[in-house]
Amino acid sequence: MRKSRWVALLMLLLTALVLGACGGDDSDDDNASTTAEETPAAGGIQKNDKNASTKLTIGSKNFTEQKVLGEIYAQALSAAGYDVSTELNLGDEKTALKALEQGDISAYPEYTGTALLSFFRVPADKLPKDGLAAYAQAKEGFAKKNLTALPITPFVSSNEVAVTKETADKLGLSKISDLKGKSQDLTMYGSPECRQRLDCLLGLEQVYGLKFKKFVPVDLALRHEVLSKGQADVSIVFTTDPQNKREGFVLLEDDKGMFPPYNSTLVIRDDILEQAGPDVTKVVEQVNQGLTDEAMQELNARVDLDKKTPEAVAGEYLQESGLVQ
């Protein structure tokens, strides 16, 4: 099973890179005259010795996907010649943003939907449904904080309301609104900050009119375990969580459009980006190319199911995608 997942990921990465190469042939004569020294070999990340004078500290929030992304960006930027360190597992989004604004870190990956709801307080009925529109709105918000949201990933790591197949069959659940009139008998588990988030318990109450018998805050790493063991009737999960497929969870359709798009963007301080130069954006674009939904699920699985470290998994991704040797 593990070997077949790796082969599948490699094929996904190769396909993404080939499609990206086919889409990048519109350069003009000026671009065609670029010297060999300035051109990355075979799509890989090119080391630039001039970058060595720029120190970058890459942060992340406190769950698997974030730590994997933080390691991927850190290792990729190091390969480009930057002096890179990491400050991973910082905490929730507000903790990570505070660290960024204070200069404790240079950049960290954030989700566009999370930014719109948690930082910029966009009302649920005004949230964009399109990924690029959500990115544009989040980018504008970050710009007011002297931060730049770099290009987004193809993958979307959305919040989802999950139940076991047994619960779905018993209660006739296929969409979130099916919980109306039933939620008062159900226990919901979610992250500690879920209670105050519009894309979690607060939104379920305001948008769907749901009232649960009890809400229990739980560490993000335990969201799937409490559901599979029957401690929770309902849990908030991410679409890129590998446990969803393994446990056969039913993800209820967001039929009222409560959840915005959640593409990931590396958010960096403007002063650091100016100092670091264009290679940062170039590297991020190269890294993002292969980060599809399927690829991110596989990388998360290598940590959560195969028990590898985020550092090791990040290195595997960069090598398998041909970005580093």
106-152 tens-digit pLDDT: 999 999 999 999 999 998 889 999 999 999 999 999 999 999 999 99
Same domain (yes/no): 153, 163 = no
Enumerate residues 6+ apart whose C-beta is below 8 A from 119.
Answer: 93, 97, 141
Choose one of 252, 272, 290: the last residue of a domain: 252
Distance CA(158)–CA(140), nearest Å, equals: 21
For residue 170, what pLDDT is reported? 98
Residue type, 222: L
Residues 152 and 176 both lie in one domain: no
Looking at the structure, tell me whether residues 134 and 236 fall in a common domain: no
CATH of the domain at 284: 3.40.190.10
What proportion of the chain, given as a percentage, has pLDDT over 70?
87
Residue 84 CA to residue 251 CA, distance in Å, equals 38
Reported as a single tens digit per residue, the pLDDT across 9-32 is 555 555 554 444 444 443 333 333
Q: Quick one: 278 and 191 in the same domain?
A: no
In this structure, is residue 36 part of a structural domain?
no
> pTM for the whole thing?
0.87
Same domain, 152 and 269: yes
Residues 268, 142 share a domain: yes
Q: Which CATH number is 183's domain given?
A: 3.40.190.120
Per the structure, the complete domain to which residue 243 belongs is given by: 159-252
Residues 96-112 have pLDDT tens digits of: 999 999 999 999 999 99
Q: Is 21 part of a structural domain of the chain?
A: no
- Whether 121 and 269 share a structural domain: yes
Q: How many domains does the chain have?
A: 2
Query: Collapsing DSSP states into helix, strand and coil, what is residue 240?
Result: coil
Domain boundary among 252, 274, 309: 252
Domain-located, residue 111: yes
> Cα Rg for the chain, rounded, in angstroms?
20
The rounded distance, in Å, linking the Cα atoms of 175 and 52 is 51
What is each CA distance from 22 to 19, 25, 26, 133, 301, in whole angstroms? 5, 6, 9, 25, 30
C-alpha dihedral sign at 217, 186, 161, 6 = positive
> If the chain, 325 residues long, is cut into consecutive pieces of 10 residues, what is the mean pLDDT of each piece?
53 50 40 32 84 99 98 99 99 97 99 97 91 98 99 97 98 99 98 92 96 95 95 97 97 96 99 98 98 98 98 98 95
